[in-house]
Structure 1
């Protein structure tokens, strides 16, 4: 089963980075190139424990649907989403957040299993793992861009959490 681990350093508060990482709206921005849109479940705002979202996106020239659910949640240090239905045989995406010199280290651990047995394993080696890394790196680049500027305020507007910083 392929495993992708990415570490992204972000000069922003952990709570902001955590919330941006679970923002349906930010995810849409980071996947504009695949025409990804939320079509069922939680379709905007911040997704939470036991909530699911169904995404429709164009990958490899084919429109696909994928439903994932938040299965673990400990704000602001960790959450995990797992595929409920979609093209993979299975996947689990862990999101870890820790403090670093006044900022945040965001660590993604993405474990997945491709369908189609040996053909899936071959696809992983030839192109799929690289494709998934590129998708995750673009998402993380957008999280970093929003967190390190005032753009995060467009997506995260909970006055109880952020007070007058909004």
Structure 2
């Protein structure tokens, strides 16, 4: 059974700024510095585009993790989707949505994850993995907000 996690944030910056920060693997790694997150892209570019793959390595829940995802949908500056191609889950799909609002951008992270190991995996996902992933997504969103709203903090790439 899949778990759905959705985080909604409002960021005081234009959708193009927020979109570009979300697809920047260096910003991603910086947002999760406590997990020693690293990201390697298939193209060498630091900002992901349609068809790109990125491999993340990190320490989560006391274990070393490795996951590769591919950008399967790319509609700048409104939406992109990354989906696990290799990694610890049976399936993982992360939809990033961006809407123009009066105060800037509404950013929605919608993550659907299915764990391996059938019913046991579903219980572990519901009780441990999903709450942990929710905290990570909130942490990432707060970091994106901080960088996007900082007067000099936006990367110039």
TM-score by length of 2: 0.94
Q: Would you say 1:99 and 2:100 are equivalent positions?
A: yes
- Please name the residue that 1:20 is paired with: 21
Displacement, 1:94?
A: 0.4
Cα gap change, 1:113/1:149 in structure 2, threshold over 3 Å: closer, same or farther? same
- Please name the residue that 1:124 is paired with: 125
Q: Distance in 1 between matches of 2:40 and 2:76?
A: 26
Name the one with the larger helix percent. 1
Displacement, 1:32?
A: 0.8
- Please name the residue that 1:74 is paired with: 75
What is the CA deviation profile of residues 33-73 of structure 1, one whole-angstrom value per residue up to 9, with x for unaligned ones? 11111245255521110001111111122112100010000
Give aligned pairs, total: 156
Runs of 5+ unmatched residues, structure 2: none
Runs of 5+ unmatched residues, structure 1: 158-166
TM-score by length of 1: 0.89
Runs of 4+ displaced beyond 3 Å: none
State the superposition RMSD in angstroms: 1.4
Displacement, 1:152?
A: 4.1
- Please name the residue that 1:88 is paired with: 89
Asked if 1 retains the 8 angstrom alpha-carbon contact of 2:6 and 2:108, the reply is yes
Asked if 2 retains the 8 angstrom alpha-carbon contact of 1:3 and 1:110, the reply is yes
Asked if 2 retains the 8 angstrom alpha-carbon contact of 1:23 and 1:44, the reply is no
Q: Identify which range, 30-39 or 74-83, moves more after superposition.
A: 30-39
Q: Distance in 2 between matches of 1:119 and 1:151?
A: 47
Asked if 2 retains the 8 angstrom alpha-carbon contact of 1:19 and 1:156, the reply is no
